[in-house]
Structure 1
Amino acid sequence: MDIQGSCHCGKISFKCKSHTPYPYMRCYCSICRKTAGGGGYAINIMAQADSLVVEGKEHVKSQSHDHSDDLSFWTPHSSTNHRNFCGECGSCLWGSDPSYKQWIYPFASAIDTDLPRPPINTCIFLDNKPRWAAGADNVGEKDVMYDTYPEDSIEDTHKKNGWWIE
């Protein structure tokens, strides 16, 4: 599926291809929550890195939380993710991870394309969720919860649920 996104001020727009366009995963880790969260979490989807086309590249800034040598990899303050955002308005646009060079992770909040609504939500890093944010106390019957990261990847989940789009 072709998806398009942009920042709030319009200085950056991007497009990419995604086989996994269902924004089903709500991440409550402190990095997502503090850099891009709205409801106390951020939602990422996955796209093919080699399909990314960016207009306004000169406005893209990147922040790295690369602590790959840290044995406590998934702590509230560590990740190998690089977050790309607009240097003008601060909108979070997509993440990337050197461990998974074939993928980028656009923030669903930056996508302008009408994405399909997921029939379930997966809440992750609930051990980092602030008390005020809705999480396990505001879920559907089929929704799933994880204190950290689930075993199934974004790709696995899309394929398992029949959401994979060629």
Structure 2
Amino acid sequence: MLLHLRGSCHCGAVAFEVDSKAPVPFMRCYCSICRKTSGGGGYTVNILGEADTLRVTRGADTIRAYRAVKDKAAAEQVLCQKRYFCPVCASYLWAQADEWPQWVYPYASAIDSELPAPKSTTSIMLGSAAQWADPRELTADNEVFEEYPPYSLEQWHERA
């Protein structure tokens, strides 16, 4: 199913559109980077978008990007994917990884279009979850991983 998604930041300075063949189910990431940069329930929810369909319809010249250091304690510092955000209200919009230039990962929280309800979710990076981010709400139908799962986000969507 191809779904045309519209999204925006909280203040309205930035708006965008992107197509997604996999708008659900959702993968929740509890890593410290996602938790600290985008807030929410102690995790972020990214969906899979087609990079060549991403179109910024308002505020393209204002968008900023942030690249977190994956492990600050490591001798060699590796940067994570770019996380794009509105500099006016600080809303996170989407992420994009150098390794997979064909995809963008819109934050579900930035999507204004109706998204289908997921039949299940996958929670990753629970080893980094804050104590107050309570993943116990997860049911037996959901997959849970202490770190990254043994498959890519694209493979995960293909399995669903």
| TM-score, normalized by the shorter chain, greater than 0.5 | yes
**Which structure: greater strand fraction?**
2
Q: 1:33–1:40: 8 Å Cα contact kept in structure 2? A: yes
- Which whole-Å CA distance do the structure 1 matches of 2:126 and 2:62 have between them? 33
User: In structure 2, the residue corresponding to 1:150 is in which secondary structure?
Assistant: coil
Change (3 A) 1:72 1:114: farther
Aligned to 1:64: 67
Change (3 A) 1:87 1:152: same
> What one-letter code is carried by the residue in structure 2 that aligns with 1:111?
I
| CA shift for structure 1 position 65 | 2.3
Tell me, yes or no, if structure 1 residue 16 matches structure 2 residue 15: no
> What one-letter code is carried by the residue in structure 1 that aligns with 2:44?
A
| CA shift for structure 1 position 153 | 2.0
Change (3 A) 1:125 1:72: farther
Aligned to 1:164: none
Tell me, yes or no, if structure 1 residue 33 matches structure 2 residue 32: no
- Give every structure 1 segment of 4 or more consecutive aligned residues whose post-TM-superposition deviation is greater than 3 Å: 70-73
Q: 2:32–2:128: 8 Å Cα contact kept in structure 1? A: yes
Percent of residue pairs bearing the same amino acid type? 40
Aligned to 2:94: 94
Q: Provide TM-score, normalisation by structure 2.
A: 0.90
User: In structure 2, the residue corresponding to 1:21 is in which secondary structure?
Assistant: strand
Instruction: Structure 1 unaligned segments of length 5 or more: list them.
Output: 162-166
Change (3 A) 1:148 1:59: same
- In angstroms, what is the RMSD of aligned CA positions? 2.2
Q: Which deviates the most, 152-161 or 92-101?
A: 152-161
> What one-letter code is carried by the residue in structure 1 that aligns with 2:68?
H
Change (3 A) 1:72 1:146: farther
User: In structure 2, the residue corresponding to 1:45 is in which secondary structure?
Assistant: strand
Aligned to 2:137: 138
Q: Provide TM-score, normalisation by structure 1.
A: 0.86
> What one-letter code is carried by the residue in structure 1 that aligns with 2:64?
K
